[in-house]
Amino acid sequence: MATPLPHDRLGGIEVFVQAAEAGSFALAAERLNLTRSAVGKSIARLEARLGARLFHRTTRQQSLTDAGQAYYDRCVRALAELYDAEAELDSGRRSPQGRLRVSAPVVFGRHCVAPVLRELAARHPQLQIEISFNDRVVDLIEEGYDLGIRIGALPDSASLVARRLGLQTMGIGASPAYIAAHGRPQTLDEMRQHVGVAYARGGVEKGWSLMEADGEVVQLRVPPRLRMDDLQAIADAAIAGAGLAWLPCWMLSHYVRTGELDVLMHGDRMAAQPVHAVWPQARYLPSKTRTAIDALAERVPAMLATW
């Protein structure tokens, strides 16, 4: 008969693996929803039990010792088997439960993802949803996310699976006051004579992608008066009369209905961007992830189809 494991042994292993993959106790604590002190104590207990030092610790970084690396390799394989077993059992559940960590772009996440997941959490009391809003491309596996939302073409990946949620089309708008003062541009050349509010991250400005009659994608660059890395701030600036703005149609249409913006161009002339739900490749998809993907696939397409 096998000797039973102490009740906290597997918990210590999971904390150790997260700390090794995160590269810091602080980041591991964030992923596990623990304090840094709790992570440090768990690692210390594990090292005491094993009689081996698992991490080299300095004031600036931590890294695995040779013994730590060997132990990590074994732990990863063991945990993978346990996760697969749990996911296989969980995949047959009707009601999702547990913590679901989701990463989404800031404005799209607030307007199109959060409402869907908020309703999902209300329907399933045992499901806890954590949403992080960030416009950078998050490494789902490295940062411990169950699900991510991506806008734009996806690179090939052997570690991620994707489901398309729809197409995001863009439009160009300006405030009625701006148009009254500067005129309504009708052509691309006329738009280039105006000023714009551009989206830029890390000093890199994003062009406005349009399609010619032959299907060729061209970049329209309107001289920017302002550069921002937040779509809501860009929309607010356009409403205030700062210039032309290139915005998602699901967002632009709202301000057209309220009369705060006029649409100058949208539809077939604008290059569309695919929207995907992406998640780490696994043999079995937990019910919490599958339920969230299905809810988004049901609701998001209608949100994108604004015109």
Q: Read off the CATH number of the domain in which 160 is found.
A: 3.40.190.10
Residue 132, pLDDT score:
96
Domain CATH number, residue 45: 1.10.10.10
Considering the domain architecture, whether residues 268 and 172 belong to the same structural domain is answered as: yes
Residue 227 in domain: yes
Task: Yes or no: say if 168 and 304 are a contact pair by the CB < 8 Å rule.
Answer: yes
Written as six digits, the tokens of 263 are 């649409």
User: What number of other Cβ atoms are within 10 A of residue 53's Cβ?
Assistant: 13
Sheet holding 147-151, edge to edge: 127-133, 98-104, 147-151, 273-280, 160-168
Range of the domain at 76: 13-90
**Residues 236, 262: one domain?**
yes
Q: Judge if 144 and 225 occupy the same domain.
A: no
Is residue 8 included in any domain, yes or no? no
Q: How far apart are CA 57 and CA 25, in angstroms?
A: 11
* Cβ atoms of 237 and 197 closer than 8 Å: yes
- Measured between alpha carbons, how far is 150 from 47 in angstroms, rounded to an integer? 40
- Beta bridge partners of residue 270, listed in sequence order: 210
Question: Is 183 a member of any domain?
Answer: yes
Pairing of strands 208-211, 217-220: antiparallel
Question: Within this chain, do residues 54 and 194 fall inside the same structural domain, yes or no?
Answer: no
Q: Is residue 58 included in any domain, yes or no?
A: yes
Looking at the structure of the chain, the number of domains it has is 3
Q: For tokens 């009391």, what's the residue?
A: 125
Same domain, 259 and 177: yes
Are residues 172 and 267 located together in one domain of the fold?
A: yes
Residue by residue, pLDDT tens for the chain (307 residues) are 444 444 455 668 888 988 888 888 888 888 788 888 899 899 999 999 899 999 988 766 788 999 999 998 888 888 877 776 776 666 555 678 889 999 999 999 999 999 999 999 999 999 999 999 999 889 998 888 999 999 998 988 888 999 999 999 999 999 999 999 999 998 888 999 999 999 998 878 888 988 776 777 888 889 998 999 999 999 999 999 999 999 999 999 999 999 999 999 987 778 788 999 999 987 778 889 999 999 999 999 999 987 6
Residue 4 resides in a domain: no
Helix, strand, coil shares of the chain as percentages rounded to 5? 45, 25, 30
> Same domain, yes or no, for 20 and 113?
no
Global model pTM greater than 0.75: no
* Domain boundary pick from 38, 64, 90: 90
Asked if 223 and 155 sit in the same domain, the reply is no
Measured CA to CA, the distance from residue 50 to residue 47 in angstroms comes to: 5
Contacts 24+ apart (CB under 8 A), 190-195: 191/220, 191/222, 191/244, 191/264, 191/265, 192/220, 192/221, 192/222, 192/223, 194/222, 194/223, 194/243, 194/244, 195/222, 195/223, 195/224, 195/225, 195/242, 195/243, 195/244
Both 278 and 220 in a single domain?
A: no
- The number of C-alpha atoms within 13 Å of 140 and in the hemisphere containing its C-beta is 23
In a domain, 1, yes or no: no
Tell whether 172 and 240 lie within a shared domain. Answer: yes
Residues 17 and 76 in one domain: yes
If you count them, how many residues does the chain have?
307
73 and 42 in a common domain: yes
Question: Is 6 inside a domain boundary?
Answer: no
How far, CA to CA in Å, does 235 sit from each of 73, 199, 230, 284?
49, 11, 9, 41
Residue 5 lies in a domain: no
- Both structure tokens of 66: 């040779």
Burial of 186 (0-12, 13-18, 19+ CB in 10 A): exposed
